[in-house]
Structure 1
Amino acid sequence: MALDEILRHVGDSGRFQLARTVLYIILTLLLSCHDIMENFTAAIPDHHCRVNLLDNPRSEINITINLTTEALLKVSIPMGPNQKPEQCRRFRHTQWQFLDSNVSVFNNTKLETEPCLDGWTYDHSVFTSTIVTEWDLVCDFQSFKYYAQATTMAGYLVASLVCGFFSDRFGRKPLLVCSCLAYGILGSCCAFAPNFSFYCVLRFLLSASISNIVINCPILVFEETSPKWHSRIIILNGLSFSIGQAGFGGLAYVLSDWHILQLVLALPYFIFFIVFCWGPESVRWLISTGKTEQAIKTLQRIAFINGKKDIAYNQTTEALQSKLKEDGNSTSKHFRIKDLIINPMMRRTVLCFSCVIFTAVFGTFGILLDIKNLGNNIFLNQILLGVVDIPIKLLTYFIMRNVNRRPSIAFSLLTIGSCTTITIFLAEEMHVLRLMLFLLVKGSFAAFGCISTAYTQEHTPTVLRLMNKNINEKEGEDFLETTGC
């Protein structure tokens, strides 16, 4: 078609496309941290009921006793089966008899206990602060942590349903600009959320912003880049995603306060906001919406950045404008959702692949969002989960070039399902084996993500590509000859 030929002449593999791809890869480094953030910002440290004797050792006796913290805990809190203080119960009355070494602290089944009425004491050796310690999301309130995760996923769902319509209506660039600005502002506010409810609302909006960025940024890159580079871009993007997840494990280890960690991830989005404001809109979208003059200026700008000044300053723009207007008129009809439902091929492809993606994401993220079950050192677990993707994704590049999409996707899904099923029957104490199996799950999911991205790009292209598919390429070649491009 005409636009594809024009893009080849102004450059579809030049400095402009390289800059956008690099920006996309850097942005992906940050995007990869959003989903796994709550493994650290919502981590549950060791805790037990607050013991008043630790604050005032003379509160129940009239003489001063030099007791250690362990001794005071022994008389105040029942011991659990793991020989550690119970996390959610305390003795109703102080049990001084347990100071006698001849009395077993485990013979306490008949002693009266009560919930932690005065709050909890947390171990701050790993995390100085999390949302759990901030709002006491433990014991009877521990499920609130999972409400926050559910709210985060709900933000993705709602945004993904409407993102495509807004993108086609208002353009790729405005949505990216607004989403980056929104994430910067909302993420900064989230770091200082006054209560848990407000925190959940902000996490919902943050996920909606991320969803818009994830959907629109690759479209903006792919629509003006030669198709021969798409596989490489997908793999590079996948590698940056894995590197971002691995690096986030180290970052969370250094920044043990959830306020600082949230703020550090939010502030860079203000930079992306400025960069996207400077960048141009998608030429394909401009043509499909009839904004031909702006599309011509963008094409000239792309040619200038790619070093093709003779094309950028070509004076025969009237013929160019005439042809692009013809393309715009031929693609100006609005896409409606019923057009997707009526088309049996598209309907079957979208429904089947939506189910496949949902199954893979549901099974993998269920473990990815609770990596503490894979071992006690969650920082090392996170780094390993990111690092294991790197060789898998490098291998995936060659798979994508030499193996059909469907068997590749089927094999990766089979591996994910088999390994996840095996972990159900493993004891929680078998941390090493559980971690190894899930590393295999994570690697298979990484391969699935790359292959499925290429598959959906090939089978469910943008509405603009579908509209333009009947335009004669020969007309574009003839037009290029007349304009001298």
Structure 2
Amino acid sequence: MGFEELLDEVGGLGKFQILQMVLGLPSLMIIMCHVLLENFTAAIPDHRCWVPILDNDTVSNNNTGILSPDALLRISIPLDSNLKPEKCHRFLFPQWQLLHLNGTFPNMTDLDTEPCVDGWVYDRSLISSTIITEWDLVCDYQSMKPLVHSLFMAGMLVGGLIYGYLSDRWLVESARWLIITNKPDEGLKELKKVAHINGIKNAEAILNMEGLRAAMQKELEAAQTKTTMFDLLRTPNLRKRTCLLFFVRFANTISYYGTFINIQHFGRDIFLFQVIFGALTSSARVLPLLPLNHMGRRPTQMLFMFPVGLSILANTFVPQEMQTLRVTLASVGMGCVAAATTSTSVHATELFPTLLRAKSAALDMMATWTGAALAPLLMTLVVYLPTLPWIIYGVLPILSGLVVLFQPETRNLPLPDTIQDVENNKKFSRKVNENDSYIEVTKF
């Protein structure tokens, strides 16, 4: 018998566990609000070069009406491949001959142009002001936006490492961790507290030090060995699990944040898209619960990871004008990546022994925020190929889905408590031991 049976005696999933989940949600929601804030504070409005003949205040206030703004724009700003005003160049001199063209567009590559040396004019109809308009982070300075977001994510990583460590002094530790780290008295106290909150009667008769030591003798003996983060890489099976999990979490996080912080890529109405994506990611978190219990951990992760990559890759071939299809594909990807995140979290918890589970969670967090910090930087690759970041966002979750196959399946298996459990591939079903464990527990 082990901790699994003790936990069943105090209520495996009761008021205490539900209360923990509810109390943890507000902090997670606040974090995500900060992460996604740049979708609005760093939104890139339509823009073009400032030109004196059109945007000079003196000219604008004394408009004679001889030439319309559209005509002035035509002779001042070249057109891009989509026949829209260029965002980063203007004609060196007004091209008056363009006024006499009737619906035809000449080859403008022969006309002299220059960068926006006098600044830009922004469309403020949707959002009046962003850091883009304040600091002119467009054209040659467009790489500054992903750099700013990347630095913010890097700060989340550093802050998580520092304050995650400091918080261990005040947060209530799990009973399992307390017992495994040779603090059985405190662990027993926490188990009794859980039993009381869950409404379990006769907890005092069930939970006592003699029964605790008998139930977890092997785990308590293993607790005499001190562990460090390097123990995750010291033995073959743990090293394999650690490296594979790091890649899977890293790859999925890049795709998740790469899509979520660039919703403007899918259309102009970023407010609507934010609501759609937010609702999908919130509701999709519970989708894996059924397949996790019936299909297993590995098939469930693959079931959700592959559609993420395929939807992102498919979107690279859909024209910007087909916004409905683009948003639909992106919505499928966002829902699936949220479900894949839940699946990976469940699997990650079951892969590592209790002695190292907190340290593996810290490593998992490092992989998450490293991927989050790198995701915005990939957008700087658009200067080489506009679709290159999205190809990377799409390929990574497909690769991570394949990598999951190299991890062991953990459905219906007990959580490993020691490094030896992992290295010996401890494989006996939870269900098989339920009757035996009941008999052993009732002894004390």
Provide TM-score, normalisation by structure 1: 0.60
Question: Could you tell me how far apart the structure 2 residues matched to 1:142 and 1:412 are?
Answer: 33
Question: Could you tell me how far apart the structure 2 residues matched to 1:436 and 1:362 are?
Answer: 20
Question: Could you tell me how far apart the structure 1 residues matched to 2:118 and 2:313 are?
Answer: 42
1:283–1:73 distance in 2 versus 1, CA, 3 Å: farther
Question: Could you tell me how far apart the structure 1 residues matched to 2:301 and 2:226 are?
Answer: 33
1:288-331 per-position Cα deviation (integer Å, ceiling 9, x unaligned): 4455555455455545544569758x9x9886998899876641
1:172–1:481 distance in 2 versus 1, CA, 3 Å: farther
Residues 76 and 95 in structure 2, CA contact (< 8 A), matched pair in contact too: no
Residues 283 and 299 in structure 1, CA contact (< 8 A), matched pair in contact too: yes
Question: Could you tell me how far apart the structure 1 residues matched to 2:74 and 2:298 are?
Answer: 63
Question: Could you tell me how far apart the structure 1 residues matched to 2:210 and 2:286 are?
Answer: 45
Residues 292 and 325 in structure 1, CA contact (< 8 A), matched pair in contact too: no
Question: Could you tell me how far apart the structure 1 residues matched to 2:125 and 2:341 are?
Answer: 36
The reply on whether 1:128 has 2:128 as its aligned counterpart is yes
Letter in 2 for 1:57: T
Residues 353 and 418 in structure 2, CA contact (< 8 A), matched pair in contact too: no
Shift of 1:283: 3.1
Shift of 1:281: 3.4
1:428–1:305 distance in 2 versus 1, CA, 3 Å: same
Aligned counterpart for 2:417 among listed residues 466, 469, 476 = 466
Letter in 2 for 1:74: L
Question: Could you tell me how far apart the structure 2 residues matched to 1:447 and 1:14 are?
Answer: 24
Shift of 1:97: 5.3
Question: Could you tell me how far apart the structure 2 residues matched to 1:146 and 1:119 are?
Answer: 21
1:398-452 per-position Cα deviation (integer Å, ceiling 9, x unaligned): 2122212223323333333333333333333333333333333223323322222
Give 1:301-320 correspondences, 5 Å limit.
301-306=193-198
Question: Could you tell me how far apart the structure 2 residues matched to 1:321 and 1:446 are?
Answer: 38
1:122–1:405 distance in 2 versus 1, CA, 3 Å: same
Q: Secondary structure at the match of 1:57?
A: helix
Give 1:73-222 correspondences, 5 Å limit.
74=73, 77-81=76-80, 85-92=85-92, 95=94, 102=100, 113-155=113-155, 173-174=168-169
Residues 97 and 103 in structure 1, CA contact (< 8 A), matched pair in contact too: no
Letter in 1 for 2:296: N
Letter in 1 for 2:126: V
Letter in 2 for 1:374: F
Shift of 1:75: 7.9
Q: Secondary structure at the match of 2:58?
A: coil
The Cα RMSD (Å) is: 4.6
Aligned pairs, number: 368
Question: Could you tell me how far apart the structure 2 residues matched to 1:481 and 1:172 are?
Answer: 38
**Structure 1 unaligned runs (5+)?**
175-276
Shift of 1:145: 0.9
Residues 241 and 351 in structure 2, CA contact (< 8 A), matched pair in contact too: yes
1:412–1:297 distance in 2 versus 1, CA, 3 Å: closer
Letter in 2 for 1:435: V
Shift of 1:130: 1.7
Residues 10 and 300 in structure 1, CA contact (< 8 A), matched pair in contact too: yes
Residues 301 and 343 in structure 2, CA contact (< 8 A), matched pair in contact too: yes
Question: Could you tell me how far apart the structure 2 residues matched to 1:14 and 1:123 are?
Answer: 54
**Structure 2 unaligned runs (5+)?**
358-415, 422-433
Aligned counterpart for 1:419 among listed residues 308, 311, 318 = 311
Give 1:202-351 correspondences, 5 Å limit.
280-291=172-183, 294-295=186-187, 298-299=190-191, 301-306=193-198, 330-351=222-243
Provide TM-score, normalisation by structure 2: 0.64
Structure number having the greater helix percentage? 1
1:376–1:285 distance in 2 versus 1, CA, 3 Å: same
Q: Secondary structure at the match of 1:86?
A: coil
Question: Could you tell me how far apart the structure 2 residues matched to 1:291 and 1:73 are?
Answer: 79
Q: Secondary structure at the match of 1:442?
A: helix
Question: Could you tell me how far apart the structure 2 residues matched to 1:158 and 1:403 are?
Answer: 37
1:136–1:324 distance in 2 versus 1, CA, 3 Å: farther
Letter in 2 for 1:49: C
Q: Which residue number in structure 1 is paired with residue 366 of structure 2?
A: none
Q: Which residue number in structure 2 is paired with residue 361 of structure 1?
A: 253
The reply on whether 1:451 has 2:402 as its aligned counterpart is no
Letter in 2 for 1:409: Q
Question: Could you tell me how far apart the structure 2 residues matched to 1:415 and 1:284 are?
Answer: 37
Query: Which range moves more in the overlay, 449-458 or 112-121?
Result: 112-121
Residues 323 and 479 in structure 1, CA contact (< 8 A), matched pair in contact too: no
1:26-58 per-position Cα deviation (integer Å, ceiling 9, x unaligned): 333334334433222211012233455645316
Q: Which residue number in structure 2 is paired with residue 56 of structure 1?
A: 57
Shift of 1:468: 9.0
Q: Secondary structure at the match of 1:466?
A: coil
Q: Which residue number in structure 2 is paired with residue 269 of structure 1?
A: none
Question: Could you tell me how far apart the structure 2 residues matched to 1:144 and 1:437 are?
Answer: 28
